[in-house]
Amino acid sequence: MSHRPRIVLVHQRDYMPWVFEGAARAGFDLVLLPWKALDLDPADLPDPVVSCLFLDTEADMAGAVRALEDLHAREGFEGIMACSELAVPLVARVARSLGLVGLDEETALVVRDKSLMRERLRDAGLPVPGFVALGAPEEWQRARGLRTPLVVKPATGYSSFGVVRVDDADDLEATVHQVWKLSGGELGYGGDGHTVIVEEYLDGPEISVESLVHQGEVRVCAINYKGEMPGPYFEEVRFRSPAPLPPDVLADVERQVVAAHAAFGVTTGATHTELRLCRGTGPFVLEMGARIGGGGFLHHLVQASSGIDFAAEALRICAGRRPLCWDEPPAVVGHAAAYLVPVGAGGRIERFHGLDGLDGNPEVDRVLQLMCPGQEVRPYPAPLTAHPVLVMSRHDSDARAAAFHDELARSVWIEYQRQ
Ligand code: ADP
Ligand code: CA
Ligand code: CA
Ligand code: CA
Ligand code: CA
């Protein structure tokens, strides 16, 4: 039997195809630890998944570590990759225990905690907004010295769930309680160490930066423009790459992103860093995810803008190999875009408008519909189970990408059932 090198993916959602496709291109077999067993039909595993391990990594991390050590002893694997925020510490622990490429465990905890990231950035001399970390909602008054508007968010959240802007200091107490409740309740961050952050609002367009890190060396692969996201909730809708920004701003962003990796101790793997560009003061790092962002779709933005096979390279790195792009100079090969159809008011889905024929549009690379009529969607800041529809595209220019998104904003929408 031919044995292809094997990588364990922890919490990759099976309906997000990019990492699976990258593994197939790079010639890896995969073992999948699904995010939630419910999501997965074991009879219909995506290629090149050869087996699945159903483990409750949240309820029993030590048990999951042991099961992975046993798997390694029995069948072997070359690497292990975190595909969700929650998987990052587990994957670091397993990599260390098995001598595989991975983050050190302290770094894994830093990149899971927004207040630790803030402290590291500040200590490294990078700009940070004023912030306080609250260990209980009754401590909200400690944030009264901060300048409004403010943002209140869970310390260990992701996907902007439970993140709320506050304009009026009189609303701070109620919002801190609201976020605390969401964060400790259905987001599941309650218990020891439950923390909510309050920080000053950074006014300016948002970008995300997708990087690869190999043996401590950071390669910025794509800078994506997300545009103005004023809140009060921060649903991500539009991404365009390369970001239409002046070269000196891009250079400044790249410098800060490289410095943030050093500040956090991120020496290997793929990363997703988010920043805001404040007028006059330039980029501020919001946070970093030590994983491929967006459940994998950010691969499309990297690949279609730079030609770098981001998902395949991330897998090569975690298998201890040198990424192929390390020997290639940076290039711009096209304009890539992603549009996540906004949830809006939420409710029970009646139908989707504007999707017919979209897939046949020559600019459209892929339309991924992840929810169906009849399903219930709650509006932000509540957590989503999945983005209802994603549209990945390629364009001749950034202006054309922006115009295409404006067209989608007019034509594609979710109709909800009437109450
Ligand atoms: P998460 O891990 O939930 O994605 P983030 O810290 O990235 O948490 O916050 C989610 C979004 O909220 C950001 O992408 C940004 O749009 C907005 N946001 C968070 N903090 C700030 C801030 N200090 N200033 C402006 N916007 C913010
Ligand atoms: Ca995050
Ligand atoms: Ca984020
Ligand atoms: Ca995000
Ligand atoms: Ca097409």
| Chain segment 353-403, per-residue pLDDT in tens | 999 999 999 999 999 999 999 999 999 999 888 899 999 999 999 999 999
Taking the CB of residue 418, how many other CB atoms lie within 10 A of it? 7
pLDDT for the residue numbered 384: 87
Distance 354 CA to ligand 1 centre (A): 30
Helix (H) or strand (E) holding 394: strand 389-395
Q: Which residues are CB-contacts of 247 (< 8 A; sequence separation ≥ 6)? A: none
Look at residue 2 in the predicted model and tell me its pLDDT.
Answer: 56
Q: Mapping DSSP to helix (H, G, I), strand (E, B) and coil, where does residue 369 land?
A: strand
CA-proximal residue: ligand 1, atom 16 (nearest): 234
Q: Phi, psi (5° rounding) for residue 137?
A: -65, -25
Q: How far is the CA of 9 from the centre of ligand 5 (A)?
A: 29
pLDDT in the model for residue 44: 85
Query: What pLDDT was estimated at residue 181?
Result: 94
Ligand 1 pocket test, candidate residues 183, 207, 234, most atoms within 8 A of CB: 234
Distance 163 CA to ligand 1 centre (A): 7
In tens digits, what is the pLDDT along the chain, a chain of 419 residues?
557 999 999 999 999 999 999 999 999 999 999 987 666 777 889 999 999 999 989 889 999 999 999 999 999 999 999 999 999 999 999 999 999 999 999 999 999 999 999 999 999 999 999 999 999 999 999 999 999 999 999 999 888 999 999 999 999 999 999 999 999 888 888 888 899 999 999 999 999 999 999 999 999 999 999 999 999 999 999 999 999 999 999 999 999 999 999 999 999 999 999 999 998 679 999 999 999 999 999 999 999 999 999 999 999 999 999 999 999 999 999 999 999 999 999 999 999 999 999 999 999 999 999 999 999 999 999 988 889 999 999 999 999 999 999 999 999 999 999 97
Cα gap 91→107, rounded to integer Å: 12
Residue 172: phi, psi to the nearest 5? -60, -45
Asked if the ipTM is above 0.90, the reply is yes
Instruction: Give per-residue burial for 96-110: e unless 16+ CB within 10 Å, then b.
Output: eebebbbbeeebbeb
Class of CATH domain 130-200:
alpha beta
CA distance 131 to 150: 9
Out of 126, 150, 158, 160, mutate this one to test ligand 1's pocket (max ligand atoms within 8 Å of CB): namely 160
Is the pTM higher than 0.90? The answer reads yes
Torsion sign across C-alpha atoms 371, 376, 379, 381: negative
Domain 206-416, architecture per CATH:
2-Layer Sandwich (3.30)
pLDDT of residue 37: 65
Q: Which two tokens stand for residue 356?
A: 């017919």
Question: What's the angle, vertex CA 160, arms to CA 156 and CA 162, rounded to 5?
Answer: 70
Q: Return d(Cα 294, Cα 292) in angstroms, integer.
A: 7
In angstroms, what CA-CA distances link 296 with 84, 271, 284?
Answer: 10, 11, 24
Which helix (H) or strand (E) covers residue 340, if one does?
A: strand 335-340
Q: What is the pLDDT of residues 185-212, one digit of tens each?
A: 888 888 888 999 999 999 999 999 999 9
Q: Around Cβ 374, how many Cβ atoms within 10 Å?
A: 10
Distance 229 CA to ligand 3 centre (A): 12
Protein residues with CB under 6 Å of any ligand 1 atom: 114, 129, 151, 153, 157-161, 163, 199, 201-202, 206, 229, 234, 274, 276, 286-287
Cα–Cα distance for residue pair 382/156, rounded to 1 Å: 15
415 phi and psi angles, rounded to 5 deg = -95, 130
State how far the alpha carbon of 408 is from the alpha carbons of 141, 189, 234, 403, 415, in Å.
43, 35, 19, 9, 15
Residue 213: closest CA among 265, 147, 276: 265
Burial 336-355, CB ≥16 within 10 A → b, else e: bbbbbbbbeeebebeebebb
Task: Report pLDDT for 220.
Answer: 98
Q: Which two tokens stand for residue 148?
A: 């409004």
For ligand 1, atom 1, which residue shows the shortest CA distance? 158
Contact (Cβ atoms closer than 8 angstroms) between residue 163 and residue 381: yes
Q: Which residue has the tokens 């897939």?
A: 359
The residue whose two tokens read 């899971």 is 112
Give the list of residues 6+ apart from residue 270 with CB closer than 8 angstroms, or none: 210, 211, 212, 213, 290, 291, 292, 310, 313, 314, 317
Give the integer Cα–Cα distance in Å for 198 and 166. 10
Counting from 1 in the atom list of ligand 1, the atom nearest the Cα of 202 is 24
Decide: 398 and 406 in contact? Cβ < 8 Å.
Answer: no
Query: Which residues, 6+ apart, have CB-to-CB distance to 240 below 8 Å?
Result: 224, 225, 335, 336, 337, 398, 401, 402, 405
Domain boundaries, given as residue ranges, for the chain: 6-103, 130-200, 206-416
The verdict on domain 6-103 having CATH code 3.40.50.20 is yes
